[in-house]
């Protein structure tokens, strides 16, 4: 496959040629030796064409999708994603406020104004953040407010809200957040606000999320069916066979690879950029692990709170049951007291009855005696 790639990209050097350049320069050799073996091999494989160049390396993608140098590339990609012909009018300064740790996870963050006045923010993220929807909603709102201030400042008294145009937030994930993996067959997610009644209003904020890792899984051993998929193959896949398939099906991608392989010929420069990429990889991995651990910790806290709530409910129920039991015992004791009192009254009544019966018996005997005496007279 190396020879086949070299047929398309004759500027590719051999492994021997590259190592000769590195070994002749003490600084380059020291830098090369500082890398782990797997990264040494990765670097050599990329520069020789044994494996494809990784387009999403920071130093590569910023050259290939530079909106000032080659605006037509961003324009074509946006046209395919938005399903309408668009043209990049100008590149806007990207002064969106971001958390410091977040910026390191973003490979590319480009803000452009389109021909119709719409704003598009294109992000390519190495590792997907937690809460991607909430974050993007904040960034989109910030872009919308910036557009409002800019247009109102330009138009002054002539300003109307009709002048405010759509804001598109488009995010490519090299490694997408967990939530996207609930839809393993889908790699294009479009979002916009809609009414539940069908009422049409332009609320301006629209979102597109593209998990490139999910696209890559779905694209394995398949033909490239359209130009948008060709772009996604270009961005996500570094398999030499796919590179050849891509440039044979869509030859317009060949100059982009040539540009990247020309960059690879400057060994000193590309080694410095590759080394920076490795440092960022380590940092991003740590940040991602912290994010994942924080998410797990938050879940544990929720579970603990739920357990404590259930325990409190059980404790409350136990206290209530104990109160009910105590009340029942009190009622039982009261009933027993009443029963004893009733029994005492019964015994007293029985005693009175026995006494009355004795007196009655005596009276009957007295009457019988008197009747007997009367009869004798």
DSSP letter assigned to residue 199? -
Asked if 49 contacts 5 with a C-beta cutoff of 8 angstroms, the reply is yes
> Helix or strand or coil: residue 258?
helix
Task: Specify the pLDDT at position 104.
Answer: 44
Our CA dihedral for 123, 124, 125, 128, rounded to 10 degrees, sits at 80
Quick one: DSSP state of residue 251?
G
pLDDT-based confidence at residue 2 (cuts at 50, 70, 90): very low
Mean pLDDT of 18-40: 94
CB 114 within 8 A of CB 88: yes
**Which uninterrupted H or E stretch holds 331?**
helix 267-376
User: What average pLDDT does the chain have?
Assistant: 87
pLDDT of residue 59: 83
Report pLDDT digits (tens) over 212-269: 999 999 998 889 999 999 999 999 999 899 999 999 999 999 999 999 999 999 999 9
Q: What token pair was written down for 65?
A: 């999708």
Q: Can you tell me whether residue 275 is helix, strand or coil?
A: helix
Chain segment 323-334, per-residue pLDDT in tens = 889 888 989 888
pLDDT score of 291 more than 60? no
% pLDDT > 70, the chain? 90
Q: What is the mean pLDDT of residues 45-59?
A: 88
Q: Say if CB 49 and CB 6 are below 8 A apart.
A: yes
- Statement: residue 97 has pLDDT above 70: no
- pLDDT of residue 79 exceeding 60, the answer is yes
Token output for 160: 């109307």
C-alpha distances (whole Å) from 114 to each of 35, 94, 111, 149, 318 are 43, 15, 10, 17, 67
pLDDT exceeds 80 at position 25: yes
Whether 28 has a pLDDT exceeding 90, the answer reads yes
CA dist 264 and 79 (Å) reads 30
Q: What is the mean pLDDT of residues 176-205?
A: 94
Cβ distance 88 to 67 under 8 Å? yes
pLDDT(99) > 50: no
Supply the pTM of this predicted model.
0.73
Cβ neighbours around 348 below 10 Å, total: 10
- Confirm if 161 and 117 have CB atoms less than 8 A apart: no
């Amino acid at each position: 496959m190396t020879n086949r790639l070299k047929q398309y990209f004759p500027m590719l050097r051999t492994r021997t040629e590259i190592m000769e350049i590195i070994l002749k320069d003490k600084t380059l050799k020291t830098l090369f030796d500082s890398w782990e073996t797997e990264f040494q091999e990765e670097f050599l494989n990329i520069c020789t064409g044994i494996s494809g160049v990784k387009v999403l390396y920071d130093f590569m993608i910023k050259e290939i999708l530079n909106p000032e140098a080659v605006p037509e590339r961003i324009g074509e990609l946006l046209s395919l994603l938005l399903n309408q012909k668009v043209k990049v009018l100008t590149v806007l300064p990207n002064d969106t406020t971001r958390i410091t740790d977040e910026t390191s996870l973003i490979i590319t963050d480009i803000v452009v104004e389109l021909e119709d006045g719409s704003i598009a923010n294109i992000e390519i993220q190495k590792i997907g953040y937690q809460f991607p929807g909430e974050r993007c909603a904040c960034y989109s709102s910030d872009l919308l407010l910036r557009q409002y201030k800019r247009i109102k400042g330009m138009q002054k008294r002539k300003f109307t809200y009709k002048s405010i145009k759509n804001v598109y937030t488009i995010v490519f994930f090299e490694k997408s957040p967990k939530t996207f993996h609930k839809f393993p067959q889908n790699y294009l997610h479009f979002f916009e606000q809609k009414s539940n009644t069908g009422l049409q209003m332009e609320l301006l904020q629209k979102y597109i999320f593209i998990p490139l890792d999910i696209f890559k899984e779905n694209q394995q051993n398949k033909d490239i069916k359209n130009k948008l998929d060709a772009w996604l193959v270009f961005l996500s896949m570094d398999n030499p066979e796919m590179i050849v398939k891509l440039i044979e099906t869509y030859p317009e991608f060949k100059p982009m690879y040539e540009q990247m392989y020309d960059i690879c010929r400057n060994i000193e420069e590309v080694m410095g950029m590759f080394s920076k990429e490795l440092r960022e990889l380590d940092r991003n991995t740590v940040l991602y692990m912290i994010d994942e651990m924080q998410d797990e910790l938050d879940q544990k806290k929720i579970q603990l709170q739920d357990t404590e709530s259930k325990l409190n409910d059980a404790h409350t129920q136990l206290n209530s049951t104990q109160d009910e039991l105590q009340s029942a015992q009190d009622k039982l004791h009261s009933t027993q007291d009443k029963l004893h009192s009733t029994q005492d009254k019964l015994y007293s009544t029985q005693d009175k009855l026995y006494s009355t019966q004795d007196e009655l018996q005596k009276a009957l005997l007295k009457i019988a005696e008197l009747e007997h005496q009367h009869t004798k007279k």
